[in-house]
Amino acid sequence: MIAKAEAKYVRMSPRKAGLVVDLIKGKTVEEANFILDNVNKGTVVPIKKVLGSAFANANFNRQEKFLSKELYISKLLANGGPMLVRYRAATMGRATSIRHRTTHLHVELETVPTKAVKAVKKSKRNTKTKAES
């Protein structure tokens, strides 16, 4: 099952958005929201909105309801959009251009494979037994 969402023409640099995107790629929705809550970047707000929209699409488009632990981010892209070019005055009567960059965000969510869930549960049990002994 795949759920998609995208936001276009977001007024932020794709390079700065890529810093946050790299932190949450491949994580579950729950882990990604926790990471986004604790990152101090301005690009977090639109990324969190798109992630929330994809999660809402997953729950609305299917008859079954998903938990945030059951879905992971299979694809998350921050591609460059068109630049808004403005000009400002420079020395000696010249003009220099200012490029306001935009970003297209694209998110795809998939269900976590059952084998991966079982492997995570087993690894958590093994770490607890080692810590207890």
| pLDDT above 60 for 58 | yes
Q: CB count, 10 Å around CB of 3?
A: 22
Other beta carbons within 10 Å of 28: 19
Q: Which amino acid belongs to residue 19?
A: L
With residue 7 as reference, give the H or E element that holds it: strand 2-10
Domain boundary assignment for the chain: 2-132
Write the pLDDT tens digit of every residue in 66-104: 888 889 999 999 999 999 999 999 999 999 999 999 999
Q: How far apart are CA 111 and CA 119, in angstroms?
A: 15
Least confident of 11-20, 57-66, 92-101, 106-115: 57-66
CB 47 within 8 A of CB 21: yes
Per-residue pLDDT reduced to its tens digit, 2-17: 889 999 999 999 999 9
What is the DSSP annotation of 67-133?
PTTTEEEEEEEEEE-PPEEEEEE-GGG-EEEEEE--EEEEEEEEEPPHHHHHHHHHHHHHHHHHHH-
Neighbours of 107 (CB within 10 A): 26
pTM above 0.75, yes or no: yes
- Architecture category of domain 2-132 in CATH: Alpha-Beta Complex (3.90)
Who has greater pLDDT, 16 or 112?
16
